């Protein structure tokens, strides 16, 4: 059975979704860069080991990433899962976990990388927004895409209502992505493309607003 280590910085609602998804793998540990992260208590309630590697204890990003790598590797993970981990990782850290480091982002990448994705989508007047699970590369929020979910942007949406709609889909697609990975149903090939094994795809079109 494959091992997963989850990294968080706060409450970790996506972490909780993974803990409750009954994945075909072992969640070996939840690690946070903040000792006061609420998600640590949630992980403990699920019987999962926890650890803290505080970025404030290190002089620079590189030394923090080295310490974090040691903490992660103690659990011998097959995959490292970012679930609201609010630290930009160094290229060396990303390279160490190439093809094993996964993130979820609240937009339909490659659109709206970075922060404030929902506010930016509303400002631009897009009609479809969503979320993306992807492999992490040194190019922030531009790694190979595993799965995406799209939601309509409604005329009366606020940043909060749109964020809630997207978050609901995040909690659906992150467990799905990890289920595929744990079962060996997808892989990252040498050219950096996500390959699906024995999966059929549909060609349905999504319209927002709908056609009449």
CATH code of the domain covering residue 112: 3.40.50.170
- The answer to whether position 210 is within a domain reads no
Q: 22: cis peptide before it, omega within 30°?
A: no
Q: Which residue is catalytic, options 46, 55, 96, 105?
A: 105
pLDDT over 70 percentage in the chain: 100
Q: What percent of the chain lies above the pLDDT cut of 90? A: 89
Tell me, yes or no, whether 113 lies in a domain.
yes
Report the predicted TM-score, pTM, of the whole model to 2 decimal places: 0.95
Q: 72 CB contacts (<8 Å, ≥6 apart)?
A: 5, 7, 29, 31, 80
DSSP per residue, 60-107: SHHHHHHHHHHHHHTT--SEEEESS---PPPHHHHHHTTTTEEEEESS
**Segment 180-194, tens digit of pLDDT:** 999 999 988 888 899
Report residue 6 CA to chain centroid gap: 9
Any domain includes 203: no
- Residue 212 counted as domain residue: no
Q: pLDDT (tens digit, 0 to 9) for every residue of the chain, 212 residues total? A: 999 999 999 999 999 999 999 999 999 999 999 999 999 999 999 999 999 999 999 999 999 999 999 999 999 999 999 999 999 999 999 999 999 999 999 999 999 999 999 999 999 999 999 999 999 999 989 999 999 999 999 999 999 999 999 999 999 999 999 999 999 999 888 888 999 987 777 778 888 888 88
Contact, 191 vs 204, CB < 8 A?
A: no
Question: Any catalytic annotation for residue 171?
Answer: no
Q: Structural domain tally of the chain? A: 1
């Amino acid at each position: 059975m494959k091992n997963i280590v989850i990294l968080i910085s706060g409450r970790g609602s996506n972490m909780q979704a993974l803990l409750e998804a009954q994945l075909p793998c072992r969640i070996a540990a939840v690690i946070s860069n903040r000792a006061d992260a609420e998600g640590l208590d949630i992980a403990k309630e699920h019987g999962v080991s926890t650890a803290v590697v505080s970025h404030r204890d290190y002089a620079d990003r590189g030394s923090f990433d080295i310490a974090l790598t040691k903490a992660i590797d103690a659990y011998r993970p097959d995959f490292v899962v970012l679930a609201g981990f609010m630290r930009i990782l160094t290229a060396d850290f990303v390279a160490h976990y190439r093809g094993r480091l996964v993130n979820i982002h609240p937009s339909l990448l490659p659109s709206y990388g970075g922060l404030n994705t929902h506010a930016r989508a509303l400002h631009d007047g897009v009609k479809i927004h969503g979320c993306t699970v992807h492999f992490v590369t040194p190019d922030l929020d531009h790694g190979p895409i595993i799965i995406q979910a799209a939601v309509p942007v409604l005329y009366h949406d606020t940043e909060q209502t749109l964020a809630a709609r997207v978050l609901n889909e995040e909690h659906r697609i992150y467990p799905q992505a990890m289920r595929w990975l744990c079962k060996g149903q997808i892989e990252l090939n040498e050219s950096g493309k996500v390959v699906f094994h024995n999966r059929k795809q549909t060609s349905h079109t999504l319209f927002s607003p709908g056609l009449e």
